[in-house]
Amino acid sequence: MLLPELRAEVCRLHALLPANNLVAWTSGNVSGRDAASGLIVIKPSGLKYDQLAPENMVVVDKYGTVVEGDLSPSSDTLSHCYIYRERSDVGGVVHTHSRYATAFAAVGQSIPCVLTAMGDEFGGPIPCGGFALIGGEEIGQEVIRTLEGSRSPAALLQSHGVFTIGKNAEAAVKAAVMTEDVAATVWLARQLGNPAPIAPEDIDKLHHRYTHVYGQR
């Protein structure tokens, strides 16, 4: 079996999506790219999360052609592959329909940077891109366009949901969890009043501290 360790990791990370209330039923997906071969492991289409196992993950090449697996890959596979081809720094991609973040997407609004947690993780607002249909590369193209010039590892897509990227699949899942967390807080804050944006120079300082100082080195 190809890429057994990556299969196990991608399968394990899928369980974190329903655990963090980021998906419903069979929606959403995680993929990870193997740095050595360039092959991609992704969720099979339409399987329930409790049915996922390392052996039924699907392995595809960078163009979405199935290399190993008996099941059809996720309907978002071609868009994941487009992102990987355009971003050599990306080793993981996640797609969710998490409620609060998708509410911003439904009205075509970016999530403004009004929280230190956003300055830390996203380095600014979480941008909202345009609408794209499911099934081809169009969503991936819109994600790449939306993230151009942004430090955010997350993009919202109009009327659709959330796409996140990371250096590996776990980092992309973390970004998806954090996206929903800050989206919920910003929504709640708007019920109380008009949240104050953080000054750009302070966002820069927050992001630098988080990416260069925070945690164990």
What gap in Å lies between CA 51 and CA 171, rounded to an integer?
23
H or E, element range at 157: strand 154-157
What gap in Å lies between CA 129 and CA 142, rounded to an integer?
7
Residue written as token pair 């499911």 = 134
Q: Does the annotation count 84 as an active-site position?
A: no
Q: Does the annotation count 214 as an active-site position?
A: yes
Choose the catalytic residue: 61, 63, 202, 214. 214
The sheet carrying 154-157 orders its strands as 66-68, 58-60, 40-42, 29-33, 92-96, 161-166, 154-157, 128-129
- CA-nearest of 108, 94, 93, 123 to 27 is 94
Residues 157 and 146: beta-carbon distance below 8 Å: yes
Choose the catalytic residue: 49, 76, 84, 120. 120
> Who contacts 45 (Cβ-Cβ below 8 Å, separation ≥6)?
71, 72, 73, 74, 75
Catalytic residues: 120, 214
